[in-house]
Chains A and B, each alone.
Chain A
């Protein structure tokens, strides 16, 4: 119940739809049990009692009642649906908002697939329960109750004899439910496995084909495919075992009804019409009981779904703005780190330890070191994607957490290691951070990133749609658009995180030449593996296991007998051997 209480803000505003839905549900259920009564009246009163003048009233009364029922059914169902989908609309918007603002730390550990299943399957599970589950439960209980009342009214002894199968039915339903839900989970699980298998195979088809492993893969697929079939058949066996049995128990009630009821009629203790009415009423009790297990299971699933949704909704935002955060239009770009230590989670070792340095406005800082040495982590502290466990990061003399997040990040142009582009036009992708940019600004940014020429060669130029079903771009092309995207926001601080790793030599050369101009008047951080990319930096920080092990300009570092010199020698070996005259 705790779960439903916490989710109250999402469904409570629409509770009036629910209430109306239930009110009309009462009407629907009451009228449902009228049908057998009408049948009884027709037989006993009209036919046997020869009150033939009742006919028009019965027939018309029946139609009028059913018309009422029709309207009530409509309102009950539609309002129940509205209750669910309105809640879900609100819930989804909140979930999405939450996801937009959750910190990087959250996404480091989250799996896209898991989040997606919460946002789709769990939201749907919760909706289904709101729209259908509660009202179905009420309906079943009401139907059973009213049917029993009518039956008792007709004949208590016949009711007892007919319903003698009920305890057995209850046991069968209970057992069936216990067996069938694990089996369903088995189906879902094996289907998930099969899905993963096929997905992996297709994504890795190049690897499969280069090693000629098609038959091996077909074999593995057949196992999963067979496993899915087996799971499905195991479930259908449970179905075959219980479902005919439930129906048989119901039919057995009918046999009891006919024997004892027939006897009562022959003895004159029961009207024939009442016997016929009983025949319908029996099923009004049996089917709800068969379905009860399903509804109760729905309740426990909705609870589990609700819990998973709450986990997302209650996730701590972590990186929050201080009360009177400063809005700034344009930063100058002076960055200072004072004894900064960063740890990604409590048990992990330090990602950065005691980092201090100062970057003056417009200077270029180079960061070099092997994978995992902390280069990227350093730049992500400036934008407050993470927060240090000790030390302070200053920009323009103020702590970064004194700025509003928006104004801070707007001033920092980031070219991320993985150049992720959205399913949108090239134009929209370049202006992603600055949606108001003019076409001239966009083209200018693209030119500087050496992207304009290849964009113009595409069939729709800047209007070309990228993404899953859109144009596929090469890694180098994506990187260039990502660079243009960062240039387009005209940032005071520019971060290039291994931004040219996927382009060929000549293009890299061109981009670097263009970047020289872009970097003017901006503080730039260049993260690279290649000495060539950062040798002209005003200061180079060499990182190893989260610590700055060397710092200085290229000319001093190259003779420092340290890591930098080692990297230099590996990379420049060729040049020294081959082109002594060109070096420099």
Chain B
């Protein structure tokens, strides 16, 4: 099993992104920015936690010397029973103090850490929520999710324990060294020879080990990506009988994971023995040199015992300092990714004195509008158009001709590169985003269903709507028929990937949603593309209800949805090449005529 080699070609079958194992360099500026999230707590939780930490640390420092130098040397060796009683009482009360302090330490430190994490996550989510469409276009949903959830969680330990432990460990470490020096300088120097070795193990060896574990995680991530994909694509795999080929690939990634794990655990297994050996070295020095000091006189048994106890305590702070250092390095990577998002500015920014609009007429104008998604791709090339209030217009053209872009500019998901978009004669940049979008509703081809009840999903259009209003919106678009057939009616639980609803039913829900929102302007972007004819018939009626009394922009391929529009704009490579109603454009014998003909060719050819 150990000599197995993975065939490189087998592993080329699928590609999953793999990050490399690199530490981010330590960045003070970033660190300060991160820790500024602790600021709101600088007057309560932070100093309180620190006070508790200091109390417990001081008790820990005091115990060995109380036991060794005083209890053993002064009470036991001198056979002084009353002193023994006093000392034991002191030690006992210190333990009680430490007990109480520990209760509050744990409470307050967790409270502090969780509050910071809560604030940070809230800040990030709120910020992301207000970013523009372009931000979401450029990233997969998964990669955004990872930052809001995992990257922030990886800072949890740092804020809950790391930062404060750092303080505790420094106090503990220097406390021990100072006490040891006052007890016996020469023995201290001899014993402290192990300190550099401990530091080396704690930082260097541990970093090496951590990198190996990072590699394991990367391999696991790759394996899990494939697992996820292979489950989702299982129907394709079985249709094309690629089960065995996939198994070979999986065996490859599985083996890579195993190997990386084996290497990591080999290194990891060395850690504890090395620490213990170093400690043993210290103890051996103590036994040898310590006893000879007792032999010659300057050391007492009690002090020797204190030394032994302190030596046993040495490793803990050093180990934890190494841990905190590692946490900081990992925190660097996470916080860099978090700040990258936080520094992202919404491209569609709101003007300071933006106007709140309440009642719109719904007149839309485009004046010489140019727009490009990136330098190489101009989507709109100087569009001039006017849509009167209450009109229904259709946008027609090939994929990529600019139809959806026009719709996106009306709702101001993007800003025009040049030219002006006006609603009711006002530049939409002067209108507050919120009030603008409240007046506009977009029905997309892929309706998103949020997990919750049907009622909640329709109410998404207007969260303060009453149950009766939701139901009457559903009735108006004819969605009530299927909803009432469901097991729990309006209270049926649905979810995005669930198969409770068919495509047509989802679309009816989104119509109800939009109707409830009661927008002045309605945009239908391929809303009926993936619906079968019978459902389409039902939806057509719903559509009429939805369109009445609103300005509507319809993007569609199918003629049946376009024909009855008041005006049709034919787009090609970001230009409007024809405009007019169906009759006029047919008579023109131009591109529209050609497109209609193409549809009939589809209908008659093959």
Contact = CB atoms under 8 A, between A and B. Distances in A.
A240 B258 contact: no
Interface stretch (B117-125, B171-179, B191-199): B117-125
Interface string A498-534: 0001101111110011011000000000000111110
Nearest to B78: A266
Contacts of A308: none
B270 interface: yes
Nearest to B435: A212
B600 interface: yes
Q: Does more than half of chain B's interface fall in helix, strand or loop, or is it mixed?
A: helix
Interface in B263-301: 265-266, 268-270, 272-274, 276-277, 280-281, 283-285, 287-288, 291-292, 294-295, 301
Contact of B72 (A216, A251, A272, A371): A272
Given A96-B254, A204-B450, A428-B13, A272 B532 contact: no
A70 B91 contact: no
Given A409-B240, A432-B240, A433-B242, A371 B88 contact: no
B288 A73 contact: no
A509 B136 contact: no
Contacts of B460: 207, 211, 213, 216
Given A212-B437, A232-B110, A469 B17 contact: yes
A187 B229 CA distance: 28
Q: Does more than half of chain A's interface fall in helix, strand or loop, or is it mixed?
A: helix
Contact of A505 (B106, B243, B287, B598): B598
A151 B195 CA distance: 32
Nearest to A65: B280
B606 A515 contact: yes
Interface in B442-481: 442, 444, 447-448, 450-451, 460-461, 463
B190 interface: no
A16 to B, nearest CB: 12
B146 to A, nearest CB: 10
A512 B602 contact: yes
B102 A112 contact: no
17 contacts: A47-B304, A55-B288, A69-B276, A85-B262, A100-B247, A112-B231, A116-B227, A205-B136, A232-B110, A244-B98, A255-B91, A258-B88, A371-B504, A425-B15, A467-B229, A532-B604, A532-B606
A422 B249 CA distance: 13
B437 A210 contact: yes
Given A89-B258, A209-B437, A210-B411, A200 B451 contact: yes
A435 interface: yes
A4 interface: no
Contact of A467 (B15, B243, B582): B15
Contacts of A502: 529-530
Interface in A211-259: 211-218, 221-222, 225-226, 228-229, 232-233, 236-237, 239-241, 243-245, 247-248, 251-252, 254-255, 258-259
Interface in B25-77: 67, 71-72, 75-77
Interface in B570-606: 582, 586, 595-606
B225 A508 contact: no
B284 A575 contact: no
A63 B281 contact: yes
A240 B602 contact: no
A90 B107 CA distance: 44
Contacts of A332: none
Given A115-B231, A218-B126, A258-B91, 15 more contacts: A67-B280, A70-B274, A78-B265, A88-B258, A96-B250, A99-B234, A120-B224, A229-B118, A243-B102, A252-B92, A266-B81, A465-B15, A468-B17, A470-B15, A530-B533
A272 B77 contact: yes
Interface stretch (B181-189, B320-328, B419-427, B557-565): B557-565
Question: How many B residues touch the partner, as a band?
Answer: 35 or more
A262 B605 contact: no
B250 A272 contact: no
Nearest to A410: B241
Interface stretch (A38-46, A155-163, A287-295): A38-46
A469 B266 contact: no
Contacts of B71: 258, 262
- Of residues A86, A229, A237, which shows the largest number of chain B Cβ atoms within 10 Å of its Cβ? A229
A47 B294 contact: yes
